[in-house]
Amino acid sequence: MTNSTRTRRSLVALAWMLGVLVAPAAAEDKAAQPAPGLVVSVSEPATDAGLATLRRGGSAVDAAVATAFALAVTWPSAGNLGGGGFMMILPGPGQKPVCVEYRETAPGAATPRTLADYPRLDGHLVCGTPGTVAGLALAHGRYGTLPWRDVVMPAARLAREGFVVDRALAGSLNRVLRKSPKFAELQRVFAPPPGKKKWQPGDRLVQPDLARTLATIATAGPAAFYQGPIAEQIVAEMRAGGGLVSKADLAGYQARLREPIHGTYRGYDVFGPPPPSSGGICLVEMLNILETFRLGADEAGAGGPGAIQAGSPRRWSARDAHLVIEAMRRAFCDRARYLGDPDFVRIPAHLTDKQYARKLAAQIHLERATPSETLAPDVPMAPEPPATTHFSVVDGNGMAVANTYTLENSYGCRVVVRGAGFLLNNEMTDFNRIPGRTDRKGLIGTPPNQIAPGKRMLSSQTPTLVLRDGRLVLVTGSPGGRTIINTVLCTLVNLVDYRMSPREALDAPRLHHAWLPDKVHFEALKDPGYAATVARLRQMGHAFDPRSGKQGDAHTIAINPTTGRPVGLADWRITGKR
């Protein structure tokens, strides 16, 4: 490390410790106003719904539930009633985090071959039994303080009265309308305002059907969704379109309270979601591998091949990027081999052991990439299309929520339940589609994640809580399919090893490798500041995905360790509000 790098790094760390690092300025200024907590999400009206809930005396979970219902209105590509997700909750200072798991399940009529001859990502057949409403109700029942109605109604109002569409949402709506001409209900519900061909920022989106659905959930409770009139609408939609979700599937759906995966990393306690998410296990496995190395150790070589160059951000050096990629490669290989719904498959306990990580670390060649296929040649994996959403909440009493939920693809299976105004997921495509069939194009057919009735499909969602000495320091997570786990990893490594401020840690270019395809996704691939690093990594045998673009959208809250003050950090990559 050069002296100037070291000095700058120390100053950044010191500034953060003292609570004076405020960027971007406008956003941080607002945080200075006394507030009973913070909400950071991708959508301004949804964040506002969460903040209003905190102001009314609600807990972080009340605010999270209000935000989640609001996102179903204001961020329809991923915010949802018809999908599922994972909510990590720190109930209060000194308490143990818990995970509310509300992943979708395969319908009772599904078989391992249900999708074998159905290559599409949309349509009724790829829809699993939705978990979101049950999950939010479970979280609220345990940790909410306001009446259920009060946390659902703000979303119903947003749907009924409408809200102003921003640039990101206008673009997203225009794209889905262009790409999904055959989904008539979607075209009707999200049609641009009368007289317009396209959505523009500033237009108003009003969703009367969704408003009615939400008002029913608010007044009649979650049973309306799983057994009552909304269940009937879902089943009618399934019948009309050849989907499998039945009355019995809906009536039998249960969200679960699960014990999080817990790991440690250089003195920090990291809590992530357990299976059926792969997020917690893979994150801890990667951190354990990386803990056996000293990251940041080679910056003395500045100017040499692959070193961080003057004027560029302090990372990635080729050596550290190599180690991180190799850790990712190994954890993702284990993901494909071992992980699935724990009610159906036995998950080996050693995956999060430090000793196992040492063994994997010892197999990493320091100068050469390990070809992925040599780790397990038979199990390639498919790339993941985008759209999920993550938000973070803390309240004034030390309760914190990291919530990631999804419809899987952007706008799920594109089916809007007729008359009910909400989209259904295409989460069944997260199962391994064709049993026993693996190919180089990206299909995997390994047993742990094959379809079975009632089984939960494997997820990568990684809402994460980080504590130090029992005190909360970070609430984070991201969308992005398999990149999710690596986005969280990058944030943690940036904070812990590179001592970046939270803002820097979120902004720094991210890396992703998922074992297969054997390609590194690197946000800064085309940044001249990283040309030498990329060249050195290529020499070592790493191949890069030429389409490397933005990775993730990690709406995060960091707690200043000195002042105890939470700071909201919206990710710049899509849009965001805190």
Residues in contact with ligand DON by CB under 6 A are 384, 386-388, 406, 408, 427, 430, 459-461, 479-481, 484
Strands (DSSP E) along 343-490, which ranges? 388-395, 400-406, 464-468, 471-476
Judged by beta carbon, residue 288 or residue 388, the one nearer ligand DON is: 388
Judged by beta carbon, residue 209 or residue 430, the one nearer ligand DON is: 430
Judged by beta carbon, residue 482 or residue 542, the one nearer ligand DON is: 482
3-state secondary structure of 528: helix
Amino acid present at 578:
R
Residue 488 CB contacts under 8 Å (≥ 6 apart), including other chains: 272, 279, 283, 462, 464, 476, 477, 478, 554
Structure tokens at 178: 């262009």
Least Å distance, CB 457 to ligand DON, is: 7
Least Å distance, CB 320 to ligand DON, is: 26
What is the per-residue DSSP string for 193-225? STT-SS--TT-EE--HHHHHHHHHHHHH-THHH
Amino acid present at 502:
P
Nearest CA among 157, 268, 134 for reference residue 211: 157
Least Å distance, CB 425 to ligand DON, is: 8
Least Å distance, CB 480 to ligand DON, is: 5
What is the per-residue DSSP string for 4-43? HHHHHHHHHHHHHHHT----SHHHHHHHHS--SEEEEBS-
Least Å distance, CB 35 to ligand DON, is: 29
Judged by beta carbon, residue 121 or residue 543, the one nearer ligand DON is: 121
Helices and strands, number each (H, E), in the chain: 19, 16
Least Å distance, CB 557 to ligand DON, is: 20
Geometric angle at alpha carbon 349, from 348 and 354, rounded to 5° = 125
Amino acid present at 268:
Y
Contact 411, 441 (CB under 8 A): no
**Lateral strand order in the sheet of 556-559:** 261-265, 268-272, 464-468, 471-476, 556-559, 566-569
DSSP state of 190: T
Amino acid present at 422:
F
Judged by beta carbon, residue 172 or residue 461, the one nearer ligand DON is: 461
Least Å distance, CB 384 to ligand DON, is: 6
Please name the helix (run of DSSP H) or strand (run of DSSP E) that holds residue 568, with its range, or none.
Answer: strand 566-569
Judged by beta carbon, residue 59 or residue 483, the one nearer ligand DON is: 483
Task: Tell me whether the omega of the peptide bond preceding residue 316 falls within 30 degrees of 0, making it cis.
Answer: yes
Nearest CA among 507, 511, 500 for reference residue 534: 511
Judged by beta carbon, residue 216 or residue 461, the one nearer ligand DON is: 461
The catalytic position among 132, 388, 491, 533 is 388
- Contacts of residues 17-22 at CB distance under 8 Å and 24 or more positions apart, as own/partner, are 17/560, 17/561, 17/562, 18/562, 18/563, 19/560, 19/562, 19/563, 19/565, 21/501, 21/503
Structure tokens at 359: 């063994």
Judged by beta carbon, residue 47 or residue 406, the one nearer ligand DON is: 406
- Residue 389 sits at φ, ψ, to 5 deg, of -145, 145
Judged by beta carbon, residue 233 or residue 575, the one nearer ligand DON is: 575
Contact 180, 186 (CB under 8 A): yes
Least Å distance, CB 339 to ligand DON, is: 11
Judged by beta carbon, residue 112 or residue 477, the one nearer ligand DON is: 477
CA–CA dist 346, 343 (Å, integer): 8
Least Å distance, CB 280 to ligand DON, is: 12
Contact 104, 406 (CB under 8 A): no
Structure tokens at 212: 């009615």
Structure tokens at 536: 């050195």
Residue 388 annotated among the catalytic residues of the structure: yes
Which residues does the annotation mark as catalytic?
Answer: 388
